[in-house]
Structure 1
């Protein structure tokens, strides 16, 4: 009995010591885990918009910040950085902003791709895509008081009066891409006037500074109402907001030409510095998750629909593939932009 007690006491002591050691190690592991936890965000999120205020990009960026702030857990502020049709803001984002996940970039496609061709200072390799937030076909717009009723009438007027008319464009965007392909297709001699954002672009036609523009349907309806009218759209089929307006290829058929004009559509995306996903994968995932929730919020979608803007959400690599494929018309017509 005496030996049994002594053995039991020894066993109990060893278990107690091992348990204490185990608890100490567990506490150390827990402490280490807490120390290594990556808190994010630790400051406000800045969304750089390299275009002017009042355009579709700016309105969408500002419109999503409240819902995005709620989902990401920190205030999201918009910073407009103008110049070079997006080049200044995009270059500044890459060179001056910390790649820690607290800085995002709002881009318009193929505005971005045109800037890549013209500047050579950045490319898709410098970024990861968070996602596409908006997609709207391009249309040909004129002032409602200009007196033109059909696209054929307007095209004939441009062809018969070389050098008389002027068109506005955002260098490197689909407004510029489409206008150059359009003018080249119909041998139109018109002077191009560059602008830095959609607000200025639409105002140029309203004020008579330019005679026509090619820009997205939703943003123009929201920004100009009935003061600008579309004569044709560059969509594959008639768009639901402009069902009475023919497509470019329908017009070509009416004119006895091959209906082979490429579809053109403005896309808006959120991009982020390449280093964030590589060095802070958890932060990148947090950003994606926040946008997943924000961009499917019914109240947010309804709010934009009342403005004639229909948001969408195509995340990550899927969005990147779509944007690059859609921008292929720029590469096919590269000589027009170099």
Structure 2
């Protein structure tokens, strides 16, 4: 497997990363404390999404920002800072050290980027607040494609003719395709893009044979009949009605299942009061109708984690994905 080699296609992002840190401001005055050490944000809050608009991370960030607005009573704006498969946005966020008025919509790239790119952070440099849930992917192709199953795709890869698009090296889709390669000995040629929306455009335009996306990113195209699902890279079939008939990769003889987490983090170096405040707001958000709507509309698994439990999850997740990225 040559995932490390594939990571080099985005090494130019290193210069952008440095620029992102240099351009971003930092400060510790983003909140105010009341009596008894209570914290409240001072002014508006910004939710950074480290990917382009239109993909699963953007959907998660905007849904979370709207939900947190409901429970905090604060305006939470969303800012997309794309580039380097998420590295530019995360590095910009590093420049917000100590500022509790900034949040970031995070997912598996928080763990995978430090394993595949020369970035100056790990998840330990930030303050994990809430894991929203977990998100498996669907492998999809054009509706009129000759491919009918994921086995068809790997068979085509074994013949040297399969091209897939990925939203950044080291992401969930990239690792899912790597597991498919390991299981079959096939080769799936990667074409990197910056967001799920760009992957759909590339597939519909005939640039690639297949893509791997979270259900929420591709549900519209499945419903319209423009795309079809080859398999679900999940442990079991989805229970959601529109996905229930999609076989798992395992049912097709491919032992492939990998989940992506979604959540949000705060910068490192914030006060304990600010950390506790955002954890409490996350817990309140998880009890709202808005959270349930986000989970159901995007067909996620609603297994949350907060604060220290989220930190423990990240440590275990790193142990899980590291062998896929460093062998």
Q: Shorter-chain TM-score category? A: 0.7 to 0.9
Shift of 1:183: 2.4
1:325 aligned onto 2:316: yes
Residue 87 of structure 2 contacts residue 119 of structure 2 at CA under 8 Å; is this kept in 1?
Answer: no
Partner of 2:184: 186
**Inter-CA distance 182–84: structure 2 relative to 1 (3 Å threshold):** same
Compared with structure 1, are the counterparts of its residues 305 and 262 closer, same or farther at alpha carbon in structure 2 (3 Å cutoff)? closer
Query: Which moved further from structure 2: 263-272 or 237-246?
Result: 237-246
Whether the aligned pair in 1 keeps the contact of 2:69 and 2:75 (CA below 8 Å) is yes
Q: CA deviation at 1:251?
A: 1.6
Hey, what's the Cα distance between the residues in 1 that align with 2:324 and 2:79? 32
Check if 1:138 corresponds to 2:108: no
Report deviation, 1:62: 1.1
- Cα distance in 1 between the residues matched to 2:323 and 2:86: 22
Q: Following TM superposition, by how much is the alpha carbon of 1:92 offset from its aligned partner in structure 2, in angstroms?
A: 0.9
Match of 1:169 among 147, 166, 170: 166
Match of 1:283 in 2: 274
* CA–CA separation in structure 2 for the residues paired with 1:233 and 1:195: 21
- Correspondence for 2:248: 247
Shift in alpha-carbon separation, 1:37–1:314, aligned structure 2, 3 A: closer
Equivalent position of 1:88 in the other structure = 88
The structure whose residues are more often helix, as a share, is 1
User: Retained in 1: the 8 A contact 2:177–2:188?
Assistant: no
Decide whether aligned partners of structure 1 residues 35 and 148 sit closer, same or farther in structure 2, where only a CA change above 3 A counts: closer
- The CA distance in 2 between the partners of 1:290 and 1:223, in whole Å, is 34
Give unmatched runs, 5+ long, in structure 2.
1-32
Counterparts of 1:319 and 1:37, CA distance in 2: 24
Describe the shift of the 1:284–1:196 C-alpha distance in structure 2 as closer, same or farther (beyond 3 A): same
Q: In the aligned structure 1, how far is the partner of 2:216 from the partner of 2:35?
A: 48
- Tell me what 2:264 maps to: 270
Is 1:198 the counterpart of 2:211 in the alignment? no
Output the TM-score relative to the length of structure 2: 0.80
Larger C-alpha radius of gyration, 1 or 2? 1
For 2:121, the equivalent position in structure 1 comes to 122
Give the root-mean-square deviation of aligned CA atoms.
2.5
Q: How many residues align?
A: 290
